[in-house]
Amino acid sequence: MSESRPGRPRAQRKVRPGASAREEILDAAAELFTTRGYAQTSTRAIAEAVGMRQSSLYHHFPTKDEILEALLAETVSGSLEFARRLAQGLPADDGDHRTERAARLYTLSLYDGTELCSAQWNLGVLYHLPEARAERFAAFLGLRRELRDIYEQLSPRPERPGTGDLVFRLVESLISLRADGLAHADSAQETADAGLRLLGLEPDAEKIRRRASELLGPA
């Protein structure tokens, strides 16, 4: 079904998944950026992959940087929203609440890792682009920093600063694992379990997993 607008016709019929032209553009860009590379992908190539004129693409995204900005935001928005909910009503960082805090951190790492592994395109590789560090992408960098900070807030080891950040970076290692073709259906679970070992919480693992199941809700 055509999604053209008056004066901005498509070159051909819809060829990519997406409820709107904007979503189709993002899907095409995600594929091309993660397979060809960002610098090697032109807006013309993206438009051709969608089946629209380049001028139509500019109607939705005036620059390639704006496409990248939207894709970067997508990689963190779902996990950040979930993390914010987990951080609400966080119990005190004392020994009596260590299991609850550990369960919330475990839940976040499992959810975040699943998001990274199950997305159609491995967009996390875009984090390593030199362009993604530019001031132009300050909003995305701020969101990613907030997510990392929540990992740290949830740490059940407040006496060891930086432990939550270590778990955050462990989860993000799934990006490289996937890029190397080594990620599989259980990778997110295995990474979350590795976080428990990193924090020395294996003796409480079953209790933490049960609580995490409650926090995650129905599958």
Nearest to 155 by CA among 146, 145, 165, 147: 165
Q: Is 170 exposed, middle or buried (0-12, 13-18, 19+ CB in 10 A)?
A: middle
pLDDT at position 189: 96
Backbone phi, then psi, for 165, in 5-degree steps? Answer: -65, -35
d(CA 26, CA 154): 33
**Band of the pLDDT at 120, cuts 50, 70, 90?**
very high
Instruction: Provide the pLDDT for residue 17.
Output: 57
What is the spatial distance between Cα 34 and Cα 98, in angstroms, rounded to a whole number?
39
CATH code for residues 21-62? 1.10.10.60
The residue-averaged pLDDT of 132-142 equals: 92
Residue ranges per structural domain of the chain: 21-62, 65-216
Is 41's pLDDT higher than 50? yes
Mean pLDDT value of segment 7-31: 72
Q: What is the pTM of this model?
A: 0.88
Question: Given a cut of 60, is residue 91 above it in pLDDT?
Answer: yes
Q: Is the pLDDT of residue 18 over 70?
A: no
On whether the CB atoms of residues 12 and 51 are closer than 8 A, the answer is yes
- Please give the DSSP secondary-structure letter assigned to residue 204: G
The whole-chain average pLDDT of the chain stands at: 89
Give 158 or 77, the one with higher predicted confidence. Answer: 77
Span 40-57, average pLDDT:
95
- Res. 157: pLDDT tops 90: no
